[in-house]
């Protein structure tokens, strides 16, 4: 019997992702509102990210993308609505909050490594302190993760001795060392020199293929096309539209999205 999906012309990589069946809801935001003073930065945000799903968040500067990520990780408070991770509401503080932060990995635009600790120590710190692993156990796993992102031979160096792309890959390894349920990436390649962008995106693409649940703020279209299940477009604090990368990039519905895509595609 012929496979009907074989008739659908699609990018090979995008096709392989599309075959990953969506899992159950992992991150659920419902009616979330947040203000900074008079500024309404998150407006009635409803967003469900399923286990194994890769969601790209895209939109103009100031639309609330970073605030959205920071709110999911409880680095920002919110005023109304609800957020749950794996069925549990976001904890307010204390040990439960530390655990949530370990379950929700976050990689920022700036690399945020501890400057006075070696690469290996950067990766083992969380597993030892929060996950209560032994030093030997944490180091073994850290070396595996550093090898996976291609920086294991830099383990005894300090962050300043590495390139931006290498530091960002260490930041990814550091998050993975906590065995997070979901990884949030906020423009992880926008501070990098062009030749280093690919090496970081390659690591992220392989994570996506392995089934990691990911929320990624990025304007890297190639990555979005290859790795994303869904693109969410934000403007002025609201989610204006969402769809598969093919739907969104080829057939944006709102004028706001058309205008935005016109601007980034001509760059």
In the complex with ligand ATP, which residue's Cβ is closer, 71 or 166? 71
- Segment near Mg ion (CB under 5 A); pick from 23-31, 66-74, 190-198, 219-227: 66-74
Instruction: Indicate the pairing of strand 39-50 with strand 182-186.
Output: unpaired
The footprint of Mg ion on this chain (CB under 5 A) covers a number of residues equal to: 1
Residue 83 CB, nearest distance to ligand ATP (Å)? 16
Which residue is at the shortest CB distance from Mg ion? 66
Using CA atoms, how far apart are residues 120 and 122, in angstroms rounded to an integer?
Answer: 5
In order of 13, 76, 222, the CA distances from 9 in angstroms are 12, 42, 17
Cβ contact 143:152 at 8 Å: yes
Residues engaged in binding ligand ATP (CB under 6 A): 36, 39, 41, 59, 61-67
- 166 binds Mg ion per the rule CB under 5 A: no
Instruction: Indicate the pairing of strand 213-217 with strand 54-58.
Output: parallel
Contact of residue 61 among Mg ion, ligand ATP, none (CB under 5-8 Å per partner type):
ligand ATP
Contact of residue 115 among ligand ATP, Mg ion, none (CB under 5-8 Å per partner type):
none
Residue 60 CB, nearest distance to ligand ATP (Å)? 7
Contacting residue, 32, 54, 66, 216, with Mg ion by CB under 5 A: 66
Contact of residue 105 among ligand ATP, Mg ion, none (CB under 5-8 Å per partner type):
none
In the complex with Mg ion, which residue's Cβ is closer, 67 or 205? 67
In the complex with ligand ATP, which residue's Cβ is closer, 178 or 197? 197
Question: Which residues are 45's β-sheet partners?
Answer: 32
Rg (CA), the chain: 19
In the complex with ligand ATP, which residue's Cβ is closer, 119 or 234? 234
Contact of residue 52 among ligand ATP, Mg ion, none (CB under 5-8 Å per partner type):
none
Contact of residue 133 among Mg ion, ligand ATP, none (CB under 5-8 Å per partner type):
none
In the complex with ligand ATP, which residue's Cβ is closer, 178 or 232? 232
Residue 180 CB, nearest distance to Mg ion (Å)? 20
Residue 219 CB, nearest distance to Mg ion (Å)? 11
**Site for Mg ion, rule CB under 5 A:** 66
């Amino acid at each position: 019997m012929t496979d009907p999906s074989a008739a659908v012309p699609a990018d090979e990589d995008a096709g392989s992702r599309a075959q990953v069946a969506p899992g159950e809801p992992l991150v659920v935001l419902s009616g979330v509102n947040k203000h900074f003073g008079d500024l309404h930065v998150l407006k009635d945000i409803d967003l469900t990210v399923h286990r194994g799903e890769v969601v790209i968040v895209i939109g103009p500067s100031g639309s609330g993308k970073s605030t959205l990520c920071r709110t999911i990780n409880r680095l920002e408070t919110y005023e109304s609505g609800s957020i749950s991770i794996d069925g549990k509401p976001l904890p307010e503080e204390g040990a439960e909050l530390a655990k949530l932060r370990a379950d929700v990995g976050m990689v920022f635009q700036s690399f945020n490594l501890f400057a006075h600790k070696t690469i290996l120590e950067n990766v083992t710190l969380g597993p030892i302190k929060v996950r209560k692993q032994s030093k030997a156990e944490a180091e073994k796993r850290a070396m595996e993760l550093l090898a996976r992102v291609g920086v294991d031979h830099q383990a005894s160096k300090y962050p300043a001795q590495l390139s931006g792309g290498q530091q960002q890959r260490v930041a990814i390894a550091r998050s993975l060392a906590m065995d997070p349920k979901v990884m949030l990436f906020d423009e992880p390649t926008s501070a990098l020199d062009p030749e280093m962008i690919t090496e970081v995106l390659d690591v992220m693409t392989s994570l996506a293929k392995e089934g990691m649940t990911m929320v990624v703020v990025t304007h890297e279209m190639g990555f979005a096309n290859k790795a994303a299940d869904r693109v969410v477009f934000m403007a002025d604090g609201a989610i204006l539209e969402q769809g598969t990368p093919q739907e969104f990039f080829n057939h944006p519905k709102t004028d706001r999205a058309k205008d935005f895509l016109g601007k980034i595609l001509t760059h």
